[in-house]
Amino acid sequence: MARNVLTGEVKYFVANRVPGERGTTLRWLLRVAFGRWTVESCFREAKGELGMDHYQVRGWRCLRRHFFVTQLSHLFCARMRQEYDDPAGEQPDRLTVQQVRSAMNTWLSSVDLKPAARHERYEQELEKQHYYQRRNQQAHKSHVKTRITRLRELGIDVDQIKSCITERQDDEIRCFPSNIYSHE
């Protein structure tokens, strides 16, 4: 059972494992319960960014082809993101599939242009992406600050909150105060 300390919402979970049994911890069970399945985020990106929901076909074979092409596009964007993303570098934030798709659209639409015009389009796209990365990073900082302030106003010590969500940084798992559910 978990209760949201801000809204009072209660969530119940059923598991076939017990904390302490075969290395199972309560933290692990909560992470599984609140975690978003990888396949769900894959479908969300494929629908929102790559057009998986824009099909007009009548048969199973056509639907399957459309699904394969969409997933191939998703794989391509993910590979480009891995290759060109520099999380420890100068970039304010990591690349998203949407940014990779936008860059590919810019590249495809400017292939036939003269080199000077092509370079100008590339620079405009790069400037736009840097702008959105900086803006999103600032918005994230602001939301975290607001959430921490609200929790402190409720008398909750944010340094004592154990998050079930983790971030990987330099092969080290770091926890952060984002989980507003307390387990009971």
Per-residue pLDDT reduced to its tens digit, 69-80: 888 888 888 888
Tell which residue, 10, 2, 3, 6, has the closest CA to residue 148: 6
Tell which residue, 133, 124, 122, 128, has the closest CA to residue 94: 133
Q: How many other CB atoms are there within 10 angstroms of residue 61's CB atom?
A: 9
Q: Where do the structural domains in the chain lie, given as residue ranges?
A: 1-35+164-184, 37-84, 88-158
Which residue carries 């609140």 as its tokens? 34
Per-residue pLDDT reduced to its tens digit, 44-59: 777 877 777 777 778 8
For the chain, the C-alpha Rg in angstroms (whole number) is: 21
Per-residue pLDDT reduced to its tens digit, 11-56: 888 888 888 888 888 878 877 777 766 677 777 777 877 777 777 7
b/e for 73-89, b at 16 or more Cβ within 10 A? bbeebeebbeeebeeee
Contacts of 50 (CB under 8 A, 6+ apart): 70, 73, 74, 77, 97, 101
DSSP string, 118-144: HHHHHHHHHHHHHHHHHHHHHHHHHHH
Model confidence, pTM: 0.56
